[in-house]
Chains A and B, each alone.
Chain A
Amino acid sequence: GENVEQHPSTLSVQEGDSAVIKCTYSDSASNYFPWYKQELGKRPQLIIDIRSNVGEKKDQRIAVTLNKTAKHFSLHITETQPEDSAVYFCAASINSGYALNFGKGTSLLVTP
């Protein structure tokens, strides 16, 4: 089955700096790669996703890159703000309608 590895497990940055979280996956059949933000006690919220036919996608301060050959994808957050502090999960799946395989999560702390 699919195995998703996520690094780092914790990340602390100063407000205004950039944050990068990296994930690798094992199943070459995976074509859908969403990123979720989870605040304490709440459900995961989709913040951005990318499909295998695209190498990069950007939405304001958030961007995701995908390298299918190397089987890795990354989340980039620019100009971080304290409200970006949360746990971020990457996931991989065959498609958006299929079960998601999650990474172990990255706890991001943005200090003022």
Chain B
Amino acid sequence: GAVVSQHPSWVICKSGTSVKIECRSLDFQATTMFWYRQFPKQSLMLMATSNEGSKATYEQGVEKDKFLINHASLTLSTLTVTSAHPEDSSFYICTGGGAGGETQYFGPGTRLLVL
């Protein structure tokens, strides 16, 4: 099946710094990837839809200036959490694939802890 990787798998940063998370499709081309956020003991919430070569589409309540998404190629989408604060601490997961009726695949996730 299709493989999605994420990097880093976990990151600890100080409040006010920016963190970049990479999501790569390793064996397929992804014109669309999705970014989800999962707080402890909660469900996965869609943050944004990342579109290759165009602007991302953000869900209501997600600040586009804080969560910058770039999808410059068919195999890489990045999420940058700018000026991170402790409330941004969460598990960030990307997904890709699913086109043509195939299964959508989750990346392994990135655990972010902002001190």
Contact = CB atoms under 8 A, between A and B. Distances in A.
Interface stretch (B12-20, B38-46, B62-70, B80-88): B38-46
Nearest to B95: A100
Interface residues of A, number: 20
B46 A101 contact: yes
Contact of A97 (B100, B109, B111): B100
A89 B98 contact: no
A104 B103 contact: no
Contact of A103 (B34, B43, B103, B109): B43
* Band of interface residues on B: 20 to 34
Given A43-B93, A43-B107, A96 B44 contact: no
Interface string A95-112: 111111111110000000
B43 A89 contact: yes
Nearest to A89: B43
B46 A99 contact: yes
Main SS class of interface, A:
loop
Given A46-B103, A49-B103, A97-B104, A104 B42 contact: yes
Contact of B106 (A44, A96, A98, A103): A44
A102 to B, nearest CB: 5
B49 interface: yes
Nearest to B44: A102
A40 to B, nearest CB: 10
A96 B107 contact: no
B27 interface: no
Contacts of B100: 97
A71 to B, nearest CB: 19
25 contacts: A34-B103, A34-B104, A41-B111, A42-B108, A42-B109, A43-B107, A43-B108, A44-B93, A45-B106, A46-B103, A46-B104, A95-B101, A96-B102, A96-B103, A96-B104, A97-B32, A97-B100, A97-B101, A97-B102, A99-B34, A100-B34, A100-B104, A102-B43, A102-B44, A103-B43
Given A96-B102, A105-B43, 6 more contacts: A34-B104, A43-B109, A46-B104, A96-B104, A99-B46, A100-B46
